[in-house]
Amino acid sequence: MQEYLDKSFTTEKISSELTNLKSYFFIAWEENNPVGYLKLNSGKSQTELSDDETSLEIERIYVKASHHGKKLGQLLYDKAFEITKELGKKYMWLGVWEENIRAVNIYKKNGFEEFDKHIFKLGNDEQTDLMMKKMVN
């Protein structure tokens, strides 16, 4: 996990992501404390699919453990769906670790369906992510 964090969240990488006009960031706040985070990708910023004109990727939805069960993840998901519609995309998609049953069930509850799988390397550990998508209309 530390290797992944060290590689994925360097100052340079985050700066590059923040200046990418095809990525969108949202932070949920409770008073002055960030408690949730959403990152969306469109166009060539998407990590897997090359369906740039018709899709939007949810790359990250993170919620602090202290806020699990408080519907914050749902609020961030609703924002992603709203942006997908505003941008005129046909569908949104994401990858989720197959063993994260809680997240998989939330996505299924929100109308996502599995369409593929891919390997996500966490250090030397190869994990299977479910690729899921939801049509907008």
Q: Is 107 a catalytic residue?
A: yes
Measured CA to CA, the distance from residue 109 to residue 116 in angstroms comes to 18
Give the count of alpha carbons within 13 A of 40, CB side only.
23
- In the structure encoding, which two tokens stand for residue 14, read together? 């985050």
Can you tell me which residue has the tokens 């990418």? 20
Residues belonging to the chain: 137
- In the structure encoding, which two tokens stand for residue 111, read together? 């109308």
Which one of 4, 24, 37, 107 is the catalytic residue? Answer: 107
Measured CA to CA, the distance from residue 68 to residue 76 in angstroms comes to 12
Q: Which helix or strand (DSSP H or E) is residue 84 part of?
A: helix 72-86
- Active site residue ranges: 107
